[in-house]
Amino acid sequence: MIDERNQGRPRVCSRRLAAVLGLAGAALVAMALPGAASASSVSCSGTVTPTTDPVLAKPLQYDWTCNSAVVSYGITASKELDFFSPDTLVFDSTNTVTNYSYGCEGTIPSNGFGCFANGNPQAPAPSGDRVEGVFETSKGGCTHSRKHPLQTWLSVTTVLTNPITG
């Protein structure tokens, strides 16, 4: 859908993915830094935009990046999802596709899904790499009223290592 007010650019359904560290991420931080109190400084940002797909009617592309290596992540949406890509692409800082990826799983229909680094939590993509995937909502994500816009949230799990003890 093209919004004339955006001068021909695709309308952005959700300007930013909300970055949230879940309790599991906090627990991993606590285990990685025994005996030390530490606040997390992980920061993530991303977008959700309409895209094209030969099979899907109204696909939405999501992408995000964080300043820390992400072991796993979850996407939660305010609208029911009919589809999500089972794997993702990961791009480095030069916008080149890397060998890293995330394997995603979840129930359809639902309001979200979860993904693990390369299907293996021991192999996260490096900090700063951009992760890209696709999902589709039951009612076509961007064909919504202003009263009920699509909202999405990104939850990440990271492992922070104590720089002194490793």
**Percent residues over pLDDT 90 in the chain:** 42
70: left (phi over 0), alpha (psi -120 to 50) or beta: beta
Q: Does the model's pTM come out above 0.75?
A: no
The pLDDT assigned to 141 comes to 53
User: Which residue is it, tokens 């072991």?
Assistant: 71
pLDDT in tens, 84-101: 999 999 999 999 999 888
Q: Decide if pLDDT at 134 tops 90.
A: yes
Measured CA angle at 93 (ends 15, 74), to 5 deg: 45
pLDDT digits (tens, 9 = 90+) for 3-47: 333 334 444 443 333 333 233 333 333 333 444 445 568 899 999
Which residue is listed with tokens 């609208």? 79
The β-bridge partners of 113 are: 75
**φ and ψ at residue 30, rounded to 5 degrees:** -65, -40
Widest distance between CA atoms in the chain: 56
**Can you give the residue ranges of every domain in the chain?**
4-32+46-158
